[in-house]
Structure 1
Amino acid sequence: MADKLRAQQQLEQLQTRYVGVGHADTTKHEWVSNVHRDSLASYIGHPAMLEHFAVALNEPRERVRLQFVDKMIQPCGPPKEKEDI
C-alpha cells in the first residue's frame, strides 16, 4: 500500500514540475498541443535543426524561426467544442 502511495506522490511531483506530462484531467487537444509546442521549442533552440528546416523550406532561417514561434500560439488549431448528448 505504501508503494502505491509513494508512486502516486512521485507522479504528482512530476506533473507539477513538468507541465507537458499532463494529469488526469488533461484533454487530448491539450496534450497534443504541449507535444507540438515542445517540438517547436526544441527546433528553435537548436540552430543546426533550424537551419535544416530553413534549407528544406527554402526560406531564410529567421523567417522559419518566426513561423515556428507563431505556430506555438495554437499549434493544433482551436479546441473542438464538446457536443451535448
Structure 2
Amino acid sequence: MSDKIRQEQLFHIMKQKHIGLGTDDTTKDEFFTQIHRDTYSSIVNHSALLEYTMISSPHDTKAETKLQMIEKMCVDYTNEHY
C-alpha cells in the first residue's frame, strides 16, 4: 500500500516539473498538442536547430523564425483530425 502512495507522490512531483506529462485520462488530441509544443520549444531553445530551421524557412532572421515557432506553440490542435 505504501508503494502505491509513494508512486502517486512521485507522479505528482514529476507532473509539477514536466507540464506535458500525461495521465490515463489524456486524450489523443491533448497528447499530440503536447508533442507539437515540446518540439517547437526544443527548436526555439537550441540555437543550432533554430538556425537550421531558419535556413529552410522563408524567414530572413532567427528572430522571425523564433517568433513563428512561438506562435505555432500557441495553436490548439485538439480540433484537428490526424
> Which residue pairs with 1:70 in the alignment?
71
Gaps of 5+ in 1: 81-85
1:24 partner SS: coil
1:45 offset after TM fit, Å?
A: 1.2
Q: CA RMSD in A?
A: 2.0
Gaps of 5+ in 2: none
Query: Which has the higher relative contact order, 1 or 2, with Cα contacts under 8 A spaced 6 or more apart?
Result: 2
TM-score under structure 1 normalisation? 0.73
Runs of 4+ in 1 over 4 A off after TM superposition: none
2:20 partner SS: helix
1:20 offset after TM fit, Å?
A: 0.5
Please give the residue correspondences for 1:1-85 in structure 2 after superposition, counting only pairs within 5 Å. Answer: 1-60=1-60, 61-74=62-75, 76=77, 78-79=78-79
TM-score under structure 2 normalisation? 0.75
What is the identity, as a one-letter code, of the residue corresponding to 2:73?
Answer: M
Checking the alignment, whether the CA contact within 8 Å between 1:36 and 1:75 is kept in structure 2 is no
Query: Percent identity between the aligned chains?
Result: 30
1:75 offset after TM fit, Å?
A: 5.6
Q: What is the CA deviation profile of residues 9-31 of structure 1, one whole-angstrom value per residue up to 9, with x for unaligned ones? A: 21122123322002233222112
